[in-house]
Structure 1
Amino acid sequence: MSQSPESPESTATGFGGSPIGGYLGELAAKVPAPGGGAVAALHAAQAAALVAMVARYTTRAKDAEHRPVVDRIIEAADSARERALALADADAAAFTAVGAAYKLPKDTDQESEQRGAAIEAALLEAARVPAAVVDEADGILVLATELLPIGNPNVVTDIGAAGAAARAAAVTSQLNIEINLGSLPAERTAAFTEVLGRISEITARADSLHQEVLHAVRAG
């Protein structure tokens, strides 16, 4: 990931070890990465963290009957958070690789052919990363929906926030998938049809979760 002069220390250890102020400084800077792909992955990481937090607040004595489910959700959400953070780093690396591929020489037929192959490979990888973010967002939304009926009602709005963040991760990833596939032949993009088709279903489920949380808040 590129570093801005204003925050030289911010991403030395990747997004997982980056102060939020340093990350936002880089996001606002005129540098190629981080950008929307990293933002999508971090939306997913935040969604997972919120689910884990609500689950940890659902470990009271009165929650004992749900403890096996809650413990499983905590473990799954913590793992999803770590994977999403890794995808933020992977997105920055993939975007950098795309830029490097376009800068390859093309003075001879052989160079032009090699450059074209490098661009195609880089664009495919740059589409695979947000596709993986969609998968994470989908799984996190499943956890949030499962947690809602048993979660501590004092933090129910954080389940809604998790759903909103997962939704943002999915729809932002859609944009990044489609922009990277736009320059590729159709036979190379077919593998992404399923994940792209799933995004509308993810957003519908996230919207439904939002309404359920609103209902719980207003009824309480």
Structure 2
Amino acid sequence: MTSSDTINNYLQRLAARQPTPGGGAAGALHAAQGAALIAMVARYSTGPKYADDADDVERIIAAADGLIPAAVRISDDDEEAFAAVIAAYGLPGGSDDERACRSRAVQAALARAAEPPRALIEVGEQVIALGRELAHIGNANVISDVAAAAEAARAAIATARITLDINIKAIKDTSLQDALQAEVLRADRAIESADDLAGRVRKRVLA
């Protein structure tokens, strides 16, 4: 699991010819890094010079610190969920009963596998929202890292979106398909927000 792995070992597992970890787990780590960058910029935005915004900065620090382990948990959840999908597809299908059982197991596993990307979109949105606040009050010397956080969150959300796209094609429950399609649209809006935040920070840097 990612939460108990070293960076080098995780990357070796990611590069190996094995189904997990995959893109979803990697996307969650993008979000974790984005949250960590927000926390870092906020910590550089403390002291007498930033006294007027001290309460907001402390709130941002606490929120960003909480998002880091939340994103890492999503990485673990995604790895476990995708492993369950692979296991379900591997069930025997020689008889009609076996095929029906396998189909039910696959659909249940696919529904479960849709939960980590949905949670990841939420975390990514929160990283962007915190970055949007910090872009106005943060230390100008490290404000470029808010743009880096926005780009990391964007990558996380885009990864979650493509994961949902795949799940929607395979899931047969039309009500669940509709719910996931709504999440895809939510991801589209969040990606636009991340792009806007990164652009605003760039303008501040280049001004």
| Class of the TM-score when normalised by the shorter of the 2 chains | over 0.9
Is 1:63 aligned to residue 43 of structure 2? Answer: no
Question: Aligned partners of 1:32, 1:72: CA distance in 2, in Å?
Answer: 38
Partner of 1:11: none
| Alignment partner, residue 196 of structure 1 | 184
**Deviation per CA, 1:117-146, whole angstroms, max 9, x where unpaired?**
110010111111111101110111000001
Q: Could you tell me how far 1:203 is from its partner in structure 2?
A: 1.4
Query: Which deviates more, 52-61 or 186-195?
Result: 186-195
Question: Percent identity, aligned pairs only?
Answer: 42
Report Cα offsets for 1:48-92 as digits up to 9, x if no partner: 010011111111211111111111111111111111000000000
Q: TM-score, normalised by structure 2?
A: 0.96
Provide the C-alpha distance between the structure 2 equivalents of 1:95 and 1:178, rounded to a whole number of angstroms. Answer: 15
- Please say if 1:111 is aligned against 2:98: yes
Considering fraction of residues, name the structure with more helix: 2
Secondary structure at the aligned position of 2:98 is classed as helix
Please, which runs of 5 or more residues in structure 2 have no aligned partner?
none
1:218 aligns with 2:206: yes
Contact preservation (8 Å) 2:168, 2:181: no
- The one of 20, 26, 41 aligned to 1:39: 26
Query: Structure 1-normalised TM-score?
Result: 0.90
Correspondence list, 1:47-196, <5 A:
47-185=34-172, 186-196=174-184
On the 8 A contact 1:38/1:92 being kept in 2, the answer is yes
2 CA distance for matches of 1:72 and 1:125? Answer: 32
Q: How many residues align?
A: 206
- How many Å separate the matches in 1 of 2:5 and 2:61? 23
Is residue 128–residue 177 contact of structure 1 (8 Å, CA) maintained in 2? no
- The whole-number CA distance in structure 1 between the counterparts of 2:144 and 2:5 is 27
**Cα offset for 1:188?**
2.8
Q: Quick check: 85-94 or 179-188, which moved more?
A: 179-188
Distance of 2:81 and 2:56 partners within structure 1: 36
Deviation of 1:23 (Å): 1.0
